[in-house]
A and B are shown apart, each in its own frame.
Chain A
Amino acid sequence: MSEASDTVLTTQDGRPLKASLRKALRREKLRAFLLIAPLLLFVIVTFVLPIADMLLRSVENSIVEETLPKTVQALASWDPTSGKLPDEAVFAALAADLKVAVKEKTHTRLGSRLNYEQTGMSSLFRKTGRHVKKMKEGPYKEQFLEVDKDWGDLDVWQTLKRFSPPYTAGYYLAAVDAQQTPDGIQMKPEDQRVYLLLFGRTLFLSIVITVSCLVLGYPIAFILAALPLRTSNLLMILVLLPFWTSLLVRTSAWKVLLQQQGVINDFLVWIGVVSNTDRLVMINNQTGTIIAMTHILLPFMILPLYSVMKTISPSYVRAAKSLGATDWTAFWRVYFPQSVPGIGAGAVLVFILAIGYYITPELVGGTSGIFISNRIAYHISSSLNWGLGAALGTMLLAAVLILFIVYDKIVGIDNVKLG
């Protein structure tokens, strides 16, 4: 090797072989790239950019600085822990900023942004905005206090100061039920905590759904793999049929089945298992979410399991039996270990789909069966607190990635076979 490196291999006309090879391959690479370019562009525009935007939104906080530039500057020298209100210079800056903001009608947006952090901010800014034009030259502090006595509240100023930097961890703190106080980061009062509970429930329900999919799906996949191809293809249609039915229809069907006056309860009452007065509550709670989502995600467990089991030759089990193993030993020690890659693939697929599921928990989950994604949707479309929604979404994404890495470390992602 060391000797050969002295003489560079060349082509017949004396060019270095490597350069020549690169040139020959460049055309092919370019062609290959052009083929995937549309998809790449599509993915970047519809997937990568939105995710980047979401990540940015979860920490972005330039609205305070943009709307109240002078105030932010003036507040820099104020010590929020001093116990005193900011001095006249700050009030003057606020008045100047608000006059501009009212003209541009941005003060209400700032109000609703700060309202996420402290209730009352929205109406405070709205009210002040109406009066700021009429304010006279001269000491502003009294005029502000006259408009609304909240301007004499230390909390208002502390909040304003805390959220004046262009980036904030506030959304993430809110997403884990914490908040920033002048005394540092603290958990919110117990009765205001929502998100940790929701994250925990999302994880727990996703695990329950994954396990029930596995318990129900494994025997089905096993039978499908063992049957002759003609029969198994027919049965496979039954597995795939739900795929071809609208998600909403399937979920609504569960509503019909599971509700208290529904088919299942009626049947149970009829055969006398349940009395008419205490019918089972199976919907608008966790039970409903688990049942409906297990049903919807079952094919995602069966298909990878089936494709892995299909590759396990029946001669392994036969060999085990001929060597003296009972049916159970042959299954447990020989068949099952070989089906683990399918379990891994199915479980990862179902779990990741479940953890971000939205429609089904929304429709059948009631209040106790909803997922973190329902809360994200609420913040994106109802409360319009996109920053918090983005922070929750980012955390969900991070949780999935962490689980994926843990899974890779324990099981090995190369053991996962989808077919």
Chain B
Amino acid sequence: MADNRGAAVRYENVQKSYDGETLVVKNLNLDIPPGEFLTMLGPSGSGKTTCLMMLAGFEPATHGEIFLNDRPINNVPPHKRGIGMVFQNYALFPHMSVAENLAFPLQVRKMGKAEQQEKVKRALEMVELGDFGNRRPAQLSGGQQQRVAVARALVFDPELVLMDEPLGALDKQLREQMQYEIKHIHENLGVTVVYVTHDQTEALTMSDRVAVFNDGIIQQLSTPDSLYEDPQNSFVAQFIGENNKLDGKVVEVNGSQCLVELGDGTRLKADKVNVSGVGDKTTLSLRPERVEFDPSDQMDNLVKGRIEELIYLGDHIRVRMNVAGNDEFVVKVRNRGEKRKLETGDIVPIGWSLNDCKALDAVA
């Protein structure tokens, strides 16, 4: 429907420096189509929040241009950008009631009283807080405040909503529940959402696409599943989900595959993702749940490992092993109710497919 429009948000060669010596954001180029839920994910200090603040207008870009619906907005002050924003600690005005908080963006737009009330009522109902209009924010629980903050960012019908770690202050259970609620609101309203978080589960659960930030650069921009399945570099592989690292050197390249020799001489077949050729140092990335015990002989990679530690976690068992001299090697075994026959100290055969083993850039 709206695809014939350009991008809702476009960053073009955006750079940002606070002190004139280091770049916090290094040459950012990013297109966000209308209606997309895009998450900027990364550790603290990776530049993701700065990108959001530049889009909101609270930080000027040092270089480059940001476009909103193909209109450059570098010189547009924040209050004229018409972007809804949910802040980390909600920033609900403590001296106003919930309804007054919601009416605030409508008042400053000089909307009629009746229309204001109508919109406030609808927004409160959307977040299921219909009876809470007269309360003060301090009288609400964390989750309720969070919903009010979302409702306030949406009440004036912005096309774009920014969320800066909005769930950071909530406990785990509430956070999960709110993730689904925000996702549903996004689906129902069709607004474009740019969401910043350092929590990878949040990013994977909610987003259409995730931009993984590190060191001021987008390391990978893709859908949640390909982020997990096909990490493009070691940083992404480690940041998203759990990951086993095996350091080695490429000894043979065969099309999209390669053969890697580890420090102790073990040779493993791997998917060639981020290495250029023979002789390169590489770090193999392998998800713990893709490793099998007692593999069939047809498995691409077969090694033996010594069980160091067993941790019972209910739905699965976490096995820490020593494999090829690396004693941080973790295998997750699904709990199928069989009698557990793994014992600490056992040396057992394990194996995995080459497609699950990615040869990525070497971790220094």
Contacts and interface: CB of A to CB of B under 8 A. Distances in A.
Contact of B79 (A316, A322, A333): A322
Interface string B283-310: 0000000000000000000000000000
A315 interface: yes
Contacts of A322: 56-57, 78-79, 81, 83-85, 153, 162
22 contacts: A313-B91, A315-B87, A316-B91, A316-B93, A318-B58, A318-B78, A318-B87, A319-B92, A319-B93, A321-B57, A321-B58, A322-B56, A322-B153, A323-B104, A323-B152, A323-B156, A324-B79, A324-B80, A324-B156, A325-B79, A326-B108, A333-B104
Interface string B27-65: 000000000000000000000000000001110000000
Contacts of B88: 315
Interface string A326-340: 110110011001100
Contacts of B92: 319
Interface in B81-119: 81-85, 87-89, 91-95, 104-105, 108-109
A320 interface: yes
A321 B57 CA distance: 9
A396 to B, nearest CB: 35
B77 to A, nearest CB: 8
A419 B78 CA distance: 31
Interface of B: 56-58, 77-85, 87-89, 91-95, 104-105, 108-109, 152-153, 156, 162
Interface of A: 313, 315-316, 318-327, 329-330, 333-334, 337-338
A13 B85 CA distance: 63
Contacts of B56: 318, 322
A323 B93 CA distance: 12
B108 A329 contact: yes
Contact of A324 (B93, B94, B105, B162): B105
A184 to B, nearest CB: 53
A340 to B, nearest CB: 8
Contacts, number: 67
Given A318-B56, A321-B78, 13 more contacts: A315-B87, A318-B85, A319-B85, A319-B91, A319-B92, A322-B56, A322-B81, A324-B105, A324-B108, A325-B79, A327-B79, A333-B104, A338-B95
B352 to A, nearest CB: 47
A325 B104 contact: yes
Given A318-B78, A318-B87, A325 B108 contact: yes
B84 A338 contact: no
Contacts of A327: 79
7 nearest CB pairs, A to B: A323-B105, A319-B91, A322-B85, A315-B91, A321-B78, A337-B95, A325-B108
Given A329-B108, A333-B104, A321 B79 contact: yes
A324 B89 CA distance: 19
Nearest to B155: A323
Nearest to A322: B85
A333 B100 CA distance: 11
B91 A324 contact: no
Given A315-B88, A319-B87, A329-B108, A324 B82 contact: yes
B239 to A, nearest CB: 27
A324 B153 CA distance: 11
A367 B83 CA distance: 61
Contacts of B81: 322
Contacts of A330: 79
A315 B84 contact: no
Contacts of B83: 322
B93 A334 contact: yes
Indicate the member of A313, A318, A326, A334 with the most B CB atoms within 10 Å.
Answer: A318
Nearest to A334: B93
B119 to A, nearest CB: 13
B328 to A, nearest CB: 40
B258 to A, nearest CB: 49
A40 B78 CA distance: 56
B48 to A, nearest CB: 17
A323 B84 CA distance: 6
B87 A324 contact: no
Contacts of B57: 321-322
B136 to A, nearest CB: 13
Contacts of A333: 104
Contacts of B152: 323
B87 to A, nearest CB: 5
A15 B87 CA distance: 56
Contacts of B80: 324
Contacts of A313: 89, 91
B206 to A, nearest CB: 21
A315 to B, nearest CB: 4
